[in-house]
Homo-oligomer: A and B are copies of this chain.
Amino acid sequence: MHSSAAALVDDLAAVILQLGTLGAPRQELSRTAAATLARIQRNGPARLTELAIAEGVTQPSMSTLVARLVDQGLLRRGGDPQDARVVVLDLTPAGAELLAQRRADRADRLTRALADLSPADASRIDDALPALARLADALRRSSTSPEVNR
């Protein structure tokens, strides 16, 4: 072990923040918009209030955001036959396509960055990946902040 616990924390924080460049690829979609689309793709159709809570925004904000995304053809509105008040949002093919493009773009940038590393570095990152995933999980649980940009 080459670092004290305090140095590990500081260095790790710095690295995590610098890695954040990967998360801000385009301006074509706000952070919340991207997270909302990704959530629907991951979990299936969802109600407006549900999305507002999940993304940590108010109901009116989600209402206008969803209206924008529907206008842009990325989301589709549906109703609940059981309850005429509710609005159910689902991804359109165009929405799914946009998410796929964003993921491909990120994968490209990451692939290029990894190509600059030595095999030993790549291997150490590979080895640490499950641990990093568990760290991310622990971080997410202890945090009240908004969702990640998928």
Contact = CB atoms under 8 A, between A and B. Distances in A.
A47 interface: no
Contact of A139 (B2, B14, B19): B19
Interface stretch (A20-28, A66-74, A76-84, A85-93): A20-28
Contact of A12 (B10, B20, B125, B148): B125
A38 to B, nearest CB: 9
Interface residues of A, number: 61
Interface string A25-40: 1000000000000000
B114 A135 contact: yes
Interface of A: 1-3, 5, 8-25, 103, 106-107, 109-114, 116-117, 120-140, 142-143, 145-146, 148-150
B133 A124 contact: no
Given A22-B143, A114-B135, 6 more contacts: A9-B111, A12-B110, A15-B133, A17-B150, A20-B23, A128-B128
A9 B105 CA distance: 12
Q: How many copies does the complex hold?
A: 2
B139 A21 contact: yes
Contact of A113 (B20, B128, B138, B148): B138
Contact of A2 (B8, B16, B126, B132): B126
A19 to B, nearest CB: 5
User: Which one of A10, A20, A140 has the highest number of Cβ atoms from chain B below 10 Å of its Cβ?
Assistant: A20
Nearest to A103: B13
